[in-house]
Amino acid sequence: MASLDALTRSEPVNAALSWLFASVVVLAAVESVFTAAYLWAGFAFLVAAVTAVPPLLSGDWTMVVPWPLPLVAAAAAAARAVGLYPEIAGYVAVAALALVAVVELDAFTSVEMSRRFAVAFAAMTTLAVQALWTVAQFASDVWLGTDFLTTQRELQVDIVAVTVVAVVMGAAFQWYFARFEHAGSHEHPTVTRSP
Amino acid sequence: MTLGEALGLSDDRERLLARALQAVLAGLVVYGLATLRLGLAANAGIALAVTLLPALLRREYGYSMDAGLVLWIVLAVLLHVVGSLGPYRWFSWYDEITHTVSAAFVAGVGYALLRTFEIHSEEVDVPSEFRAVFVVVFVLAFGVVWEVFEFGAVLVSRLLGVRSPVRIFGIDDIVTDMVFNAFGAAVVAAWGTGYFDGVVGFLIRRTGSANEEGG
């Protein structure tokens, strides 16, 4: 199955861009450590780490996900770092991580997905993470005395917001993947770099 | 061994039990209409309609759903309708039961969909560990979409000035819903997917798969 495999091809330009954006995510993570936003710092490091898994395992630095995925993650991390719509930026980052993970699952494990299925699964994962996140915040409020969840209304608005983000991101990448595949299959065939 | 066998229920018994529970639902519709509790009548009416879907499938497509599964659907909706009569407000654990039961059903639907995609599409092929993960993700995501629906239902009801069919009792209500959705999903992911293999066969026939063994 090659619908998503072709996306994680070895191509220096794509790789350079992906690494650039991944380092922006790391910078934002470091910044979060200094502002004591540890939870968020951990999450940003996780995004960067997941992006770096295939090149680390394969030893080929060009084997990374398509650059728009790290770009979105970097944009979200940067927006969060400067305090621009931090909630929405967080959801976008989760959706980006889900997409990165799904693309890598398809490319490097025995999990095979069609493009549409992969995008839908990434959107579902985004929503599932929101559910787990809500439970974690609630537990933290109850046992650690934090103040994450304030009103029911706010939580519901959050839930609606994350659903919108998941759907919009899914639609955007469905469009991107489809376009990329058409344009890419002829003009940019899969390159295997010789050592 | 199925759950029904474990409880000593034959298919016929399960069918009979499902009919009895449907009769209770019908009774609630009549009671709601007679006492002019229209909210109750509508709630029970919709639930009864849902329980008739398996019969509709049999009539339209000649597909007999597993008796245990039909019983599960009837039980899930009946628990919900009875709950709105009071138990939801009286017992905090009641909501947890209904969510676990419904989540288990949603998990089964998610599993059936995934299997259908797998058999139907050459591009989708996943190992069994992934299936379990998928089922849990599917239910958690469905739970979030459900909360969006509840939020919308409450807003629309307020705009129309009618009583909302669903009610939300605060943050802890939403959170417990999510916890017990996950619980129901995990139970099905671990043990219960076998119940839904019959549904998979049906979906594959309906989607007209080229794969012969699906029929």
Q: How many Å apart are CA A161 and CA A171, to the nearest integer?
A: 15
* Span B16-57, pLDDT tens digits: 888 999 999 999 999 989 998 887 888 888 888 888 888 887
CA torsion, points A157, A160, A161, A163, in degrees to nearest 10?
160
Tokens encoding A178: 């489809």
pLDDT at B6: 62
pLDDT at B4: 62
**Res. B69 pLDDT band, cuts 50 70 90:** confident
Residue located via tokens 């109750």: B40
Give how far Cα B96 sits from Cα of A83, A105, B83, B172, Å. Answer: 38, 34, 11, 12
**A83 in the Ramachandran plot: left (φ > 0), alpha (ψ -120 to 50) or beta?**
left
pLDDT at A137: 86
Is A2 in CB contact (< 8 Å) with chain B? Answer: no
Asked if B151 lies within 8 A of A123 by C-beta distance, the reply is: no
Q: How many Å apart are CA B55 and CA B127, to the nearest integer?
A: 34
Average pLDDT of the residues of chain A: 84
Q: How many Å apart are CA B197 and CA B118, to the nearest integer?
A: 13
Average pLDDT of the residues of chain B: 81
Is A138 in CB contact (< 8 Å) with chain B? Answer: yes
Chain A's closest residue to B140, CA to CA, is A128
pLDDT at A184: 39
Chain A residues close to B182, C-beta within 8 Å: 131-132, 135
DSSP state of B165: S
* Span A43-74, pLDDT tens digits: 899 999 999 998 888 888 888 888 899 999 99
Give the distance from CA A166 to its chain's centroid.
11
pLDDT at A189: 39
Q: How many Å apart are CA B186 and CA A132, to the nearest integer?
A: 14
Give how far Cα A23 sits from Cα of A10, A66, A87, Å. Answer: 19, 15, 22
Asked if A134 lies within 8 A of B121 by C-beta distance, the reply is: no
Spatial contact of B161 and B77, defined as CB atoms under 8 Å apart: no
- The ipTM is 0.82
**% of chain B with per-residue pLDDT over 70:** 88
Chain A residues close to B144, C-beta within 8 Å: 127-128, 130-131, 159, 162-163
pLDDT at A27: 94
* DSSP structure string for A43-107: HHHHHHHHHHHHHHHHS-TT----THHHHHHHHHHHHHHTTSSHHHHHHHHHHHHHHHHHHHHHH
To the nearest whole Å, the CA of A187 is away from the closest chain B CA by 23
Closest CA to A99 of A128, A64, A133, A123: A123
Chain B residues close to A148, C-beta within 8 Å: none
**Which among A134, A151, A163 has the least Cβ separation from residue B175?**
A134
Closest CA to B110 of B189, B50, B215, B201: B189
Chain B residues close to A127, C-beta within 8 Å: 140-141, 144-145
Asked if A138 lies within 8 A of B134 by C-beta distance, the reply is: no
Q: How many Å apart are CA A40 and CA A79, to the nearest integer?
A: 13
To the nearest whole Å, the CA of A97 is away from the closest chain B CA by 15
* Span A71-107, pLDDT tens digits: 999 999 999 888 888 889 999 999 999 999 998 888 8
